[in-house]
């Protein structure tokens, strides 16, 4: 199995994935790291690990779909079997998702279906949630909606700050995301409707 990671920023989840591939915990080949942000530190992490990088500038494309068509060409050339989103801050179009049905994984920093969107940690914190967490899920055509692979809850302490909560959440992401990817790569995840089972 060959896979690509999509990232837009720092790439701390990418680093956890790179480390898990190197340790042979994920039995799949990470062949490409793609970003829609030329300055993403994730690209530097990939380069340092000897992984091919790709930046495609969205400004050169008239529509999101034409942009994604260009990306898909690169993915097909690299013989990518599945895709892992790790802080990719752009919604994928239905066109792209149909190209890789149930082959795109995402990490979200809340217990879905609560606190969808880009500010999952902050939204849970300001709402006063006592428990939040991390969700790993398949990507479908709705935002933060696809079948859930794995979830882990985190208690929000009385003296919690937004920064300390974010740290806790990222720590859990780095632990469970590689595990979910490993299960997928081994063909152990079965999807029936909204239920994902490990077989």
Hey, which residues does 82 pair with through a beta bridge?
3
For residue range 139-190, what is the model confidence (pLDDT) as tens digits?
999 999 999 999 999 999 999 999 999 999 999 999 999 999 999 999 999 9
Class of CATH domain 2-107+139-148+177-198: alpha beta
Locate the domains of the chain by residue range: 2-107+139-148+177-198
* Report field, pTM of the whole predicted structure over 0.85: yes
Identify the band that residue 1 occupies on the pLDDT scale cut at 50, 70 and 90.
very high
Identify the band that residue 70 occupies on the pLDDT scale cut at 50, 70 and 90.
very high
Six-digit token string for 103: 């082959």
For residue range 114-146, what is the model confidence (pLDDT) as tens digits?
999 999 999 999 999 999 999 999 999 999 999
Q: Answer yes or no: are the C-beta atoms of 181 and 171 closer than 8 Å.
A: no
For the annotated catalytic residues, the residue numbers are: 108
What is the rounded CA–CA span in Å between residue 105 and residue 91? 13
């Amino acid at each position: 199995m060959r896979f690509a990671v999509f990232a837009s920023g720092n790439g701390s989840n990418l680093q956890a994935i790179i480390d898990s591939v190197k340790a042979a915990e994920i039995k799949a080949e990470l062949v490409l790291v793609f970003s829609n942000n030329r300055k993403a530190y994730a690209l530097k992490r990939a380069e340092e690990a000897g992984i091919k990088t790709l930046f495609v500038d969205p400004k050169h494309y008239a529509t999101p779909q034409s942009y994604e068509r260009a990306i898909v060409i690169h993915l097909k050339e690299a013989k990518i079997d599945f895709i892992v989103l790790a802080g990719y801050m752009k919604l994928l179009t239905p066109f792209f998702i149909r190209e890789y049905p149930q082959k795109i994984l995402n990490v979200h920093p809340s217990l879905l279906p609560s606190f969808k969107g880009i500010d999952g940690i902050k939204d849970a914190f300001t709402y006063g949630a006592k428990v939040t967490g991390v969700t790993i899920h398949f990507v479908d055509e709705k935002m933060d909606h696809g079948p859930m692979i794995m979830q882990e809850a985190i208690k929000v302490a009385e003296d919690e700050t937004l920064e300390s909560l974010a740290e806790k959440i990222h720590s859990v992401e780095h632990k469970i995301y590689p595990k979910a990817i490993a299960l997928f790569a081994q063909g152990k995840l079965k999807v029936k409707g909204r239920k994902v089972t490990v077989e």
